[in-house]
Amino acid sequence: MKITYPHMGNLYIAIRALLLKLGLDPVLPPPTSRKTALLGVRHAPEFACFPLKLNLGNFLEAREMGADTVLMGGGIGPCRFGYYAEVQREILADLGVSMEMVVLEPPSGDWVTFKTRTRSLVGDCSWWQVLKAIRFAWYKARAVDALESKLLYLRPRLCEPLQLEAIYREALRRVDMAENRRGLDLAVSDFLKDTRGLPGKSGDLLRVGLVGEIFTVLDPYANYDIERHLGLLGVEVTRSIFLSEWINEHLFGGLFHVGGLDHLKEAASPYLNAFVGGHGRETVGATVHFARQGYDGVVQVAPFTCMPEIVAHSVLPAVTRDHGIPTLSFYLDEQSGVAGIVTRLEAFVDLLEARRKKRLKEGV
């Protein structure tokens, strides 16, 4: 069995670790590119979400590399993600591509169900081996998060952001290659060490919170490198959600009891008082949270037609009215253009700067 899985930012690192530890033979699709997107768009429904299209492109590219099985996440709605795999399976079938789909439906924190559902994956592995594989994948995800958040913090602060990015890529490679926890810790601590001495800029930074649908938040291809553009404009970006949180929630059914996103759900009220699928409620909560923390603005990203994020976006004017935090929303798909995105970001950053100056003058 040659098993592949879709890209979502640096997710590939954690999943590769998981599959290797389970004794499987993963086939990593090439990094998502224009070609991937076009391939997905050609065969996917026109109004399906952007991630579904990119996934499909990933599968077809992995197929060319010999993959015969696809590992996909599942879900129970109401967000469309839970039905992606079903649609993708039918599309592949109609294309005459015979790839088997293994869908990881969210287990409800129950190991036995998890193991039976994933029998074809875990094969003869003992419980203990499965547990160890999951734990190791989890540590990898945490290491990735550590690198990414440091990158977001440093990028606007350093004179040579490109140099920083090179060091980051090397650290990421080491995390990917690491075979044990020691290797992971070392990769992270070396990254911190290597970046410490780099010459920095002075001055007050604008701070922006990044919220929205998780795939577009985590995947630089899907969000047209929005974090990077903001960073290079001198803005410190803070994400509302990181890879490890998604993995824990979607693949491991909340097995790891790390502080969840409950505080964001609470912060969403009174603006959004119910679960609306996906992370819509967290988007609103995180916006309130960033406002309370004194952030200058919030950027929301979502796939075009994403329902939970449209609901969230619909109520954001009320958050802005009460908390005075400006927001900017992007709906992304294959037709978005990077030039337009950058122009809107620049205008937003100008606005935030003007607001900050005005507030300083007024002494608030």
Partner 1 sequence: MIKVGIPRSLLYYSYFPLWRAFFTEMGAEVVVSPETNKAILDAGLRSALDETCLPVKLFFGHVLALTGSVDYLLVPRLISVEPKAYICPKFMGLPDMLRARIPNLPPLIDVAVDFSRGTGNWENVLSSMGRLLAGDRRLIRQACRSAQAAQSLFQEQLEKGWLLPEALNGAAGERGTERPAPPSPGSGRLNIALLGHDYNIYDEYISMNLIKRLRSMGARVATADLVSQAVIDEQAGTLPKKLFWTLGKKMIGAAFAFCDSGQFDGIIYVSSFGCGPESLVGELLARWVKRRRGIPFMLLTIDEHSGAAGLVTRLEAFTDMLLRREKG
Name the residue nearer to partner 1 (CB basis): 269 or 293.
269
- The token duo for 316 is 């954001």
Q: DSSP 3-state assignment of 236?
A: strand
* Per-residue x/- track, 316-335, partner 1 (CB under 8 A): xxx------------x----
Nearest-angstrom CA–CA distance, 179 and 20: 10
Residue 204 engages partner 1 in binding (rule: CB under 8 A): no
Q: Which stretch binds partner 1 (CB under 8 A): 46-54, 119-127, 209-217, 335-343?
A: 46-54
Q: Which of 307, 325, 349, 352 binds partner 1 (CB under 8 A)?
A: 307
Residue 237: in which H helix or E strand, if any? strand 235-239
- The token duo for 72 is 């996909």
Q: Which of 77, 123, 260, 324 binds partner 1 (CB under 8 A)?
A: 77
* Cβ neighbours of residue 358 closer than 8 Å, sequence gap 6 or more: none
Under 8 Å between Cβ of 320 and 284: no
Under 8 Å between Cβ of 336 and 330: yes
Site for partner 1 in 94-113 (CB under 8 A): 94, 103
Site for partner 1 in 259-288 (CB under 8 A): 271-278, 280
Q: Which stretch binds partner 1 (CB under 8 A): 41-49, 117-125, 184-192, 291-299?
A: 41-49
Name the residue nearer to partner 1 (CB basis): 3 or 48.
48
Number of Cβ within a 10 Å radius of residue 131: 14
- The token duo for 21 is 């530890």
Name the residue nearer to partner 1 (CB basis): 86 or 179.
86
Q: Interface with partner 1 by CB under 8 A: which residues?
A: 45-49, 74, 76-80, 82-83, 85-87, 89-91, 94, 103, 271-278, 280, 304-308, 310-318, 331
